[in-house]
Structure 1
Amino acid sequence: MRHIVKAALAAAMLALPAAAEPAPGGPLTIERQGSFFIGGREVKADALSTLPAYAPSGTITVDQVYVRYQVPAAATGRPLVLVHGCCLTGKTWETTPDGRMGWDEYFLRRGHPTYVVDQAWRGRSAASPVGINRVRSGKAPPDELPTVFSAGHEPAWAIFRFGAEYPQVFPGMLFPLEAQEEFWKQMVPDWLNSLPTPNPTVPALADLAQRLGGAVLVSHSQSGIYPFQAAALNRAGIAGIVSIEPGACPAATGDMAPYKGLPILVLWGDYVDLSPRWAPRLKGCRDFAAAANAAGGQVENAVLPEMGIKGNSHMLMQDRNSLEVADWLAGWLARKVGPKG
């Protein structure tokens, strides 16, 4: 099977254009950088450990969201909060698998403070071991084990639209498959189905936007719906929404009041109509955009190949033309959201 994959990749590489030119280069002056957590709650539990060296009972903090930020000198743009999708972490927005500039640095160079988060119970936002240890210690039955999943390379291949199925490659597809081994290292176990309701990431995003005094929430895939849910909770700090290939948009039959007058972009890559997973989601977002705009919204549903930008996978922020897409998005932000308040 490996020689088949290599042959498919070699053919795909010949069809690919050269990588995009770097964003504005030269020394990068950062006014400040750091990290913090937002949200979180204390939980007392009796199953923190099954090891003799660590007490089973005690208090831990859960549901917090890790935030890593960088603020450029003389910032001109709105803060961008970058939220990753399924089975990934904030690494999504950093250096690409083949070593090119990530969107966190690109938008920083374009004058936007960037805030990269790890969703609750993901990456540096700690998960709770209590559900597992309660079963392991006999305090709960096996059917109460929390649900945790990982996306295997083969099924993820089609989900990320590298090709219709593993190891096929869509013609002209722009993801750097020669660096796929580095990409697969980004993937982590996903606790989504074990989280409380509402997902703790959602109120954390609303709180973070308010703390920043007017931020654009930029989400991807699994997290695509989160900015909409955050706006429904508290729109006060949300200056705009960019939802990249969301797993779902708000229902077209729902309440559109939270989105009235709010600049919203729903952005799609290529090959969507060829995917039984993604084609219905695009249709649902088109329906949402129509309903929201009829109610006074400012929703744009943008499909890159319809604008002449072709070949993008689901991971368009890591594709070979990622900076071309980022440049287009920077223009949209300048036109629709405007400079920092």
Structure 2
Amino acid sequence: MRLRKHWIAAAMAVAAMPAMAQPITLERFGSFHVGGRQVEITGKPVIEYTPTVGGAPLRIDPNGTYLVGQMYARFMEPAPQRGQAPLMLWHGAYLTGVTWETTPDGREGWEHFFLRRGWTTYVTDAVERGRSGTAMSPDIFGLPIYLPTANPWERFRIGDGAGSHARGTLLPGNQFPATPEHYQSFMRQVVPRNLGTDEDVLNAYVALLERVGPSVVVAHSQGGAFAWQVAQRRPDLFRALVLVEPAGTGQAAQAATLKDIPTLLIYGDYVEADPRWSVIRRNARRFSDMIRAAGGQVEDVDLPSRGIPGNSHMLMMDRNGDAVAQLVQDWLAARGLWQ
């Protein structure tokens, strides 16, 4: 009896804990790769090298058949499930699925937020990034592009263009965890991206959705542009689209193919004052108008006007990121995709 009372008290204590403090129960989790194509390489010289100290010399012939363009995906299935479709989390350029897993100052990411609310989540590393592997450049993929430390500081609307986070000024009220230590933590997860891989990325996302089935896709930045384009190819595989500051659009001539996919666009602060992001947003608005003209539903949310100010381009990592995630959660629930 004493043990039973102790168990009941412990259970009541857990129930009283805030959502973030409660443990996540998983029914199952795992990972897999999808997509890819074979490429033949010829005419390359044999490479001779010793791979490790004390190892034996190797001769590597780089000629042959390569599998490239594959994509890594990791899924987590909570118990109980309340999301009415799988929830995909697609990252932006120069990034990986880590975007959704954690924040530079160690808080839980959006993956945790949605798992705690009963969504089955899929976090991916886009083609040629992270655990998806890469390929020879420029033989197969185009030239890799790297971001110097100062680039995201200004490009992602964290601070001014003074040159680096150590010398630059944080934008007033900005919510990104931008101490030198935290900004360096963010830069550690930034990876190069290769030019000329868009078709491989689009094909891999289609393969992912074909394997998993119709899903809610939450996509950030470059991933948002990919999501619109994938949805134009396979609208039957989308239950809803949540585009977090998409860095591009779909094909204007095919805008009507998106009319049956409920779509939410989210933008943070300082967008209109930024010469690059203001243009990107205007283009997205024009594209959204085309979808609406075809009978579609696109909601465009300006976070400052909703009482959520100070967001950088990395909304999911900002200190008020959970408030943005809650807005997404409420929007999905209002469309019958969560119960």
**TM-score if structure 1 supplies the norm length?**
0.84
Percent identity of paired positions between Structure 1 and Structure 2: 40
Matched position secondary structure for 2:67: strand
Which residue of structure 2 aligns with residue 334 of structure 1? 333
- Is 1:31 the counterpart of 2:27 in the alignment? yes
Alignment of 1:226-265 (within 5 A): 226-250=226-250, 253-265=252-264
1:48 is displaced (CA, Å) by: 7.4
1:59 is displaced (CA, Å) by: 2.1
Amino acid of the residue matched to residue 113 of structure 1?
T
Alignment of 1:1-341 (within 5 A): 23-46=19-42, 51-52=47-48, 53=58, 54-77=60-83, 78-129=85-136, 131=138, 146-166=142-162, 167-178=168-179, 179-191=182-194, 193-195=195-197, 199-250=199-250, 253-336=252-335, 338-339=337-338
1:44 is displaced (CA, Å) by: 2.4
1:47 is displaced (CA, Å) by: 6.4
1:58 is displaced (CA, Å) by: 2.4
1:289 is displaced (CA, Å) by: 1.8
Matched position secondary structure for 2:145: coil
Amino acid of the residue matched to residue 73 of structure 2?
V
Distance in 2 separating the partners of 1:334 and 1:66: 28
Distance in 2 separating the partners of 1:22 and 1:80: 23
Native 8 Å contact 2:137 2:144 kept in 1: no
Instruction: Report the structure number with the largest CA radius of gyration.
Output: 2
1:23 is displaced (CA, Å) by: 4.4
Deviations 1:235-257 (A, max 9, x none): 22211111111111236x53222
Deviations 1:137-164 (A, max 9, x none): xxxxxxxx93211111212211110123
Distance 1:315 1:130, change over 3 A: closer
Native 8 Å contact 1:90 1:118 kept in 2: yes
Which residue of structure 1 aligns with residue 13 of structure 2? none
Distance 1:337 1:299, change over 3 A: farther
Distance in 2 separating the partners of 1:308 and 1:30: 34
Amino acid of the residue matched to residue 176 of structure 1?
P
What residue ranges of structure 1 are gaps of 5+ in the alignment?
1-20, 135-144
Native 8 Å contact 1:260 1:295 kept in 2: yes
Distance in 2 separating the partners of 1:227 and 1:304: 21
Deviations 1:204-258 (A, max 9, x none): 222322332221111111121111111111122211111111111236x532221
Distance in 1 separating the partners of 2:336 and 2:93: 27
Distance in 1 separating the partners of 2:247 and 2:148: 18
Alpha carbon RMSD of aligned pairs, Å? 2.1
Matched position secondary structure for 1:325: helix
What residue ranges of structure 2 are gaps of 5+ in the alignment?
1-16, 49-57, 163-167
Amino acid of the residue matched to residue 205 of structure 1?
Y
Distance 1:112 1:57, change over 3 A: same
1:49 is displaced (CA, Å) by: 7.6
Distance in 2 separating the partners of 1:96 and 1:318: 5
Native 8 Å contact 1:45 1:130 kept in 2: no
Native 8 Å contact 2:235 2:261 kept in 1: no
Higher relative contact order (CA 8 A, sep 6+): 1
Distance 1:35 1:108, change over 3 A: same
Count of equivalent residues: 305
Deviations 1:186-220 (A, max 9, x none): 111111x132xx52221222232233222111111
Distance 1:300 1:185, change over 3 A: same
Native 8 Å contact 1:29 1:72 kept in 2: yes
Distance in 1 separating the partners of 2:107 and 2:249: 30
